[in-house]
Amino acid sequence: MLLEVRDLSVNYGHIEAIRDLSFEVPEGTVVTLIGANGAGKSTTLKTISGLRKIRAGSVFYEGKDLAKVSPDRRVQMGISQSPEGRGIFPGMTVRENLEMGAYVRRDRNTAALAPDFERVLTLFPRLQERIKQPAGNLSGGEQQMLAIGRALMAQPRLLLLDEPSMGLAPKLIHQIFRIIEEINSQGTTVLLVEQNAAQALRRADHAYLLETGEIVRSGTGAELAGDAAVRAAYLGGD
Ligand code: ATP
C-alpha cells in the first residue's frame, strides 16, 4: 500500500474539517475523493502534504508514519501536490516555475532535470511553446498544466491533484483527464480530488465520496458512478 490514511481528523479552530477519515491508495492506481464544496477534500490533501496539522489519526506512506515528517521531506520521499487554484508564481517564467518544482531534489542539476523537463514538455506541448513567458500570462488551462508539470518535476511516486479541472472549458477538462491517465500509465500513482465527479469516477480505480468531513460511500469508480445516491446528488441525476 503506497498511502494509508487511518482515522484522520483535522480541525480549523473549532471547526471539524474532516472526521475519522480512513482510505487507502494502492501503488499504481488512480484514487479519487469526490464531494461537494467544503466536504473536506482539500484539507485531506493538505494534511497528506504536511501543510495541515493532524488532530487525531495517522497518515502512512510506504508504511512509514508521516506524523513527524516535514512537508519538504515528504516531497523528497515522493509525495508531490498540485494545489487548488494552481499556486504558480506569476512573475516567473514557465521554465523557472518548473525548476521550482524540483527545488527539494538533491540532484537538481541541469543534466538530472533534463529527462523530467522532457517528460513534462511532452505531456504538455503548450508549455514548451510558452517556456520563456511569465506564467502570469498563461491562460487558465495552461496554468493548470503548469501546476501539474511543476508537481511532476519532483519525480513523485504519489501525485496529489486538487481540482485539476476547476474553471476549465469542457474540451480542456477532457484533455486534462486524458493527461492524468497518461501520467498514471507512466507509473505515477494519483490521488485526485474533484468536484467534477463524472469525469473523475470514469478514470478512478477506487473512489470515496466525502460529505461534511466523512466518507459516506466507497467503491470502484464504476460502482460509485452507478450508485443511485451519487447519481442524484453529484451526477445530475442522469
Ligand atoms: P473546496 O472544493 O471548496 O475546497 P473541500 O471539499 O476541499 O471544498 P475543504 O476546503 O477541505 O473542503 O474544507 C472543509 C471544511 O473546512 C469546510 O467546512 C471549510 O469551511 C473549512 N475550512 C477550510 N479551510 C479553512 C480555513 N482556512 N479556515 C477555517 N475553516 C476552513
Quote the pLDDT of residue 103.
Answer: 84
Quote the pLDDT of residue 238.
Answer: 46
> How far is it, in rounded angstroms, from Cα 192 to Cα 30?
7
Ligand 1-lining residues (CB < 6 angstroms): 12, 15, 17, 35, 37-43, 84, 195
Ligand 1 centroid to Cα of residue 17, in Å, is 6
pTM above 0.90, yes or no: yes
Which residues are CB-contacts of 95 (< 8 A; sequence separation ≥ 6)? 131, 132
pLDDT in tens, 30-87: 999 999 889 999 999 999 999 999 999 999 999 999 999 999 999 999 999 987 767 8
Split the chain (238 residues) into runs of 10 and give each run's mean pLDDT: 97 94 97 93 96 96 96 95 82 95 83 92 95 94 93 96 88 91 96 91 95 94 92 72
Ligand 1 centroid to Cα of residue 128, in Å, is 34
Return the residue whose CA atom lies nearest to atom 18 of ligand 1. 38
Quote the mean pLDDT of the chain. 92
Ligand 1 centroid to Cα of residue 210, in Å, is 12
Return the residue whose CA atom lies nearest to atom 30 of ligand 1. 12
The full length of the chain comes to 238
